[in-house]
Structure formats: C-alpha cells, structure tokens
Chains A and B, each alone.
Chain A
Amino acid sequence: MSEPRLDVRKTYKLYIGGGFVRSESGRCLPARNPSGRLLDNFCQASRKDLRDAVAAARGAGEGWAKRSPYLRGQILYRAAEMLENRASAMTEEIARSTGVAAAQARAEVNLAIDRLVYFAGWTDKFTQVFGAVNPVASSHFNFTIPEPTGVVAVLAPDEPSLLALVSLAAPVILTGNSAVVIASERFPLPALSLAEIVATSDLPGGVINILAGKRGELLAHIADHLDINAVVNAVAGAEQALQSGTAINLKRYAARNLSAEEWFTDAGQDPYWIGDTVEYKTVWHPIGL
C-alpha cells in the first residue's frame, strides 16, 4: 500500500523588478477560497514594497520605452504564448481561488490570452491612430506623437482577478510605460501566478511589478507618491481616496468602472484606454531652404 505523496507547499511572493521577493515587512496573509478554506499563504506588500516597486518601474521605464514598437509587440505576444502554455495551471488556480466552475475559469484564461494578443497588435499602430501631422497655417512641419507618461499605478478589481489585471496592464505598458499593479485583494493568487508567466516572457524586469495585500494600506501612498505619473483605477470606492491625493503632483487619473461581467465583453478591450497614459508631444520645425 503506497502512502499519499506529501506535497511541497508554495508561498506566493511579490514580483518586483523582475524578481520574486518577500515583503520587506516579513508579513504574509492567508489566501482563502469563498468557503473559507485556506489555500496558500502570500506575501503582504507594505508601503516600502510599493516604494521599491515604483523605483524598479522607474528604472526599467527608459529602456522599455526605447525598445521598438515591433519588439514590444513581440514581447506581449510572447506573454500570450506563455499564458497559453500554462493555461491549465492558471485555470486550476482561478477555479480553486474563486470557486467558479472549471469551464468558466478556462473561459477567463482564454480571454486573457486573447487580450494580450489583441494589445500586442497595438504597439506599432496606436501612434498612427492617435498621433497626427497637423496642418498648421505657417510654414512649419508640425507633428504630434504620443509618448508614455512614465510609471503608472494600476489598481485591479477583486474580480475577475486575472482577466481584469491583464486588460488593465496591457494598454498601459504597450506604449512604453511601466506599471505597479495592486492585485485583487480577495483573489490574489492568480495575479501572483501571472507574475511567473510575465517573468518568462522576455518582458524586462521592472516593467510590470505585481503587489498583493491590503489595498487600504497602500492607497494613500500611491496617491501621494511623487514619482508615480498616472493612476488607473478599477476599484469601485477607491476613487475618493486616490483623487484627493493624486492632485499633489497632478497625476493623470483614469477610472475603469466595469462590473465583473463587463470585463468579459469588448468593453474590457478598449484601445482608447491607451490614450489615458500617454502624453501628446507636438513639435514644430520650419520648412524652408
């Protein structure tokens, strides 16, 4: 008679600067499924982890923005390849975390993959759609180009924990921004697993950073952090706290008020979201001999 195999339990870590780290505060939280059963422990991000993540994002931003749009597109496509390859594991992760049926979980994973492919195709096109050569009256060549705003804080909603995060982060980073994502508070494990897929997708470290823990602890520090350029918020109820703080350095603020179901529709795949985290630069140059 063989004994049941003893499994090796996983602690889910934060993803900062391309590496997996424990919180500097040493704290962990238990992840529980809807009926309260303990799943695994995950590291609880502190404001110092947030600080480190922002520093990593800032450091990675310049190199990422300098990559060609084609290369950024290929990297996002690669992330889709990696997620496709790990679809079963991710489906299992979502199902056990949230209690939804496997088919529903799989549908979420499939859509997340397709969203990555969708946004991968925008990297080398959004400039043509959102930029312009402007027909000014004087003898000047005048053009407007969108440029990444810099470091963007992204607040993902509780559900759908994977799909919403992907749909929020992709339009932010495809232009060359780097992101600090605060994962779903109720269902953080799929997000932290996504980090492992991001880490193997050729995305440079620091371009996406994923933190988990208690949103409430981190909100104020996000709001008044002077080195965050924009906030993309999909958490109902967080708006007040964020907006009063973001005025400190005039962060760009974008709200994504979608219901859990709406993330599964085309409303969750809107290329105009790209415009919320870019700056439009207009350049003049004389035309003449």
Chain B
Amino acid sequence: MKTKIKPAEVSAKRPVAVLEPVAAPRKPKAVVPVKERRLRFGAEWEYAPAPETVPAKIEARYELFIDGKFVGPHSGKYFDSINPATEEKLCEIAHGDAEDVDRAVKAARRAFEGVWGKMSGRDRGKYLYRVARLVQEKSRELAVLETMDGGKPIKESRDFDLPMVAAHFFYHGGWADKLAYAFPGKTPRALGVAGQIIPWNFPLLMAAWKIAPALACGNTVVLKPSRTTSVSALHLARIFQEAGVPDGVVNIVTGTAETGAAIYHHADVNKIAFTGSTEVGKIIARACAGTGKRLTLELGGKAANIVLEDAPLDQAVEGVVCGIYFNQGHVCCAGSRLFVQEGVYATVIKKLRDRIQTLRLGNPLDKNTDVGAINSGWQLEKIRELVQSGQEEGAEIEQTQCALPARGYWYPPTFLTNVTMSNRVAREEIFGPVLSVMTFRTPEEALERANNTPYGLSAGVWTDKGSKIFKMAGKLRAGVVWANSYNKFDPASPFGGYKESGFGREGGAQGLSAYVDLS
C-alpha cells in the first residue's frame, strides 16, 4: 500500500502533512449514551477485611491521675465508657467531683511552686521531648485505643492524630527555653495553674494542644477529658510518669460537665482553656468574668468552603470531601457550607456525588475504613434532627450508598442541595458528615455569604488565581483560611477563631501568649 504525502503549504505556524487514509479504519469507538454515562463503583474486586492487629490493652477501670499517681475518685463512683462502633462497654472511668478537682489543683500548685515554676526552660523542654519520643514509640497502641474509644477510623488515628500529637510535644519542647524570642522586649513568666477542658473529637490531640504549650511556658495543668473519650488521656498520663515528669505537673480528672465546672470555678486556677461548643464556651466566659482568670476558647464553626470557577476542580472536590467528611465531620473547623460558583455547579456536584460513593464506612478498626462511627447516640440524634429539618425546609439529600452496621452509631456522608441561607442546616453547626451546598455568582457575593454567620473559625478558597486568594483571604472573617487546601494543621501554625468561634490561638508563636504573663 502506498501513501501519498503532500507536504503542505508551509504556514508561518506549522507544517502539516496531509495524508490519504491507507488502511481500513478501525470500527469507531463505542459511545455510551448520555443517560448511561455513569461510574460504577460496585462489588468487583471487594477489599477483604483488614483489621488492625496491634493488641491494645484497655483496663477494666481507670482512676484519676493526681500528683503523679493513679487514685480513686472521692465519691467512689465510676461511669461506663462505650465503643460507639459497637455500643459495647469498654471500661469504667472514675467520676471526679469538686473534691478531686481541688486535690488536683492543690497538687498542680505545689508542683508549680516547688518544681516546675522554678525549673529552667531547658529542662522543661527536655521533659517534653521525652514525652514526644514516648508518644512516637507507643503510637500504634495509642491509635487503637483512640479508635476504640471514640469511633474514628484507625487510618486517621494512626496517620493523623498520633503523629500530630508527637509533633506538638516536639514543637513546644523547643520553645521552653526560647520564650524571650517569642516576646521581644518582654520577660515572659508562667501564669501558674492552668485548667483545661477538652472535647471528644480528637481526644489525645486536644490534650497535646493544651498540655504542651502550658508546660513549655512553665505552667502546671489540671486537664479534664471529655466524658465519652477519657482512655487515651489516661494512657498519656502513664507516659508522663515514664518520662519522669515531676508529680503534679500534669493532673487528669475525668468526669462530666460538673467536673469541668468545678475546674473553671476553682479560685486557685490562673488560666482556663476550653475547646468545645459555643454554648458551653459562653457559660465558662460568664463564670470567669471578673475573677482575673485568663481565658481562651476554641468553639464551634460553620465554615464556608468556596469553590470558584477557575479552581483546579478535581482537587477542589477532594478538598471539599476532606473538609466535611474527615473525622466524620466532628471537626470544629469543618467546611460544612459549600459555596460553588454557578458556572461550575453542575460539574462540582457531579464529581462530589461520584466521589462520596467511594468513601468506605464501617468498622473503625478496619484499615480501609474512611468514615467511622458517630461519637455518641446523642450526637447522632442531633445530626438526624438537623438533616430532617433541612429536608423539611426544602433541601434535597444525597448520600453515600452503603450498608450501616446493625449496632453502633452511624451516619453516611451526606450533602444537601437546594439549601438557602436561612435554613437551619446553613446556620447551625451539625458536627456530622453533612454538607450544605449553596451557589454564588461573584467572589464578592461569596465573601458576603461566607461571612454571614456568627461563627468565624475557618474558611476555604479554591481558585487558580493568586491575587484572588490573597484578596479573599484578606476579607474572610475567619481565624484560619485554607487556600487550595483544607484541614491542614501544624504545631507551628496558629489556630483559633473570630467572633463566636472563640478567642485566643493555639500553635505557633502566637499560641504561646495564652500561657504567659507579660506584665
């Protein structure tokens, strides 16, 4: 077979060779009709169960950790802690009361005045480095405990929570003897005893966020973990023992809301740090008013995740998914409101719908699980109630099609379209894997809608254009702005909110100021 190649008119742009067809052309490619163009995420090649095999020892009963020792609660009472994925009882936790809190504060005061407050920054730092190393060494076991106690997937506790815990101790260990450089012109001094109350969504990580800077700055601590997730904090207490941290420097009093109240009402606590709901944050603020106690609050959010039409769309969808479904949406800075520029709305929704079908929900101890259990029956009820309200107010619901285990607290990844700004699902924090989707036409409109909330913790912006990123970041009333990213954390990066998302920062040089006296 011969070819006739005619060298083309050589244009200024490019030469083209024009050809005769030489062989019988292949059959045209099969074209799937529009209505059948679907991605099939089916059962072909199912992943077999892949349970985490590290054995973790959960004790039958955990005591309070006061003055370097594990001691029984004053009331003699204990409460059950359950595994939210199975509803099975895991262990008993000591129920600390005001007496126990008082004991703990006294121990912390003694430790501050006798040892820790006098210790050189260099030595405080060395203790924190030891703790960081021990956390690294016991990482696998701690991750399993965290997953069993709280319901989050082992993949997350292993790959995100635990490494981040070690990093926080490492980072703050380095500040302990360098505080003067964080406060030029001042001689920073410790405050004394810090009372810290933490939530159930990142139990061990929240403990690290609180304890590490407090200790680095020379304070001692009384920490109250959340009622439903106390186990990992108590194993952290063992690590403090093993590291040789002096008695009373860190005290852990487990219990309920009343236990927490005893802490923030205690007269000999110099500083209160709280992470939790805005509602409780306000109660604490009122309790601390006029007492001279220093206070930082890290509260709820209803973050806007804004996707502009010039965003790298596939990655924006990844960012949206990570923003709301990471940790089952139990994240204060979750991107729970998606604002999509109208021109790319259909595309983004389609990609989102397909993407959530590949999220795997199930046994949190299975290494392939992406979405774990909801932390408690109470939280599950709240999520259901809000989603229902959304549907009643006119929203349309889309969910990951998956089987929910018979026992345990589960909610599939969900997004709601046809949502308007006044809907409860667009205003109230759901704290679950539920995304409310709205549209906008111009960046100014997006900013207006994003800022139209009493919250102000975080926001996301997705665009390929640099100047737009800086402009929008500048105008968003949020303490953390993620540009072309979401849910990024680092001990060196300050985190905290505007408005009713709280005040004060954690992490970075700015995060230290909450724990020092500069007067």
Q: CB within 8 Å of B: which residues of A?
A: 69-70, 73-74, 77, 114, 117-118, 120-125, 128-129, 141, 271, 285-289
Contact = CB atoms under 8 A, between A and B. Distances in A.
A252 B167 CA distance: 34
B175 interface: yes
Interface string B495-516: 0000000000000110000000
Contact of A117 (B129, B470, B491, B492): B129
19 contacts: A69-B492, A70-B167, A70-B171, A73-B170, A77-B170, A117-B129, A120-B174, A121-B175, A124-B174, A125-B174, A125-B178, A128-B509, A129-B181, A129-B182, A285-B467, A286-B470, A287-B470, A287-B471, A289-B468
B170 A70 contact: yes
B515 to A, nearest CB: 16
Contacts of A73: 170, 174
B174 A121 contact: yes
A34 B471 CA distance: 67
A289 B470 CA distance: 9
Interface residues of B, number: 28
B382 interface: no
A288 B471 CA distance: 5
Contacts of B170: 70, 73-74, 77
A125 B129 contact: no
Contacts, number: 66
A129 B467 contact: no
B178 A271 contact: yes
B443 interface: yes
A77 B129 contact: yes
The 8 closest A-B pairs by CB, nearest first: A121-B174, A287-B470, A286-B467, A141-B470, A288-B467, A128-B509, A287-B471, A124-B492
Given A128-B492, A128-B508, A118 B466 contact: no
B364 interface: no
Contact of A287 (B176, B181, B467, B491): B467
Nearest to A127: B492
Nearest to B443: A289
A118 B129 CA distance: 11
A226 B119 CA distance: 47
Contacts of A118: 122, 177
B427 interface: no
Contacts of A128: 492, 508-509
B122 A285 contact: no
Contacts of A77: 129, 170
A240 B485 CA distance: 52
Interface string B124-145: 0110010000000000000000
A62 to B, nearest CB: 22
A121 B467 contact: no
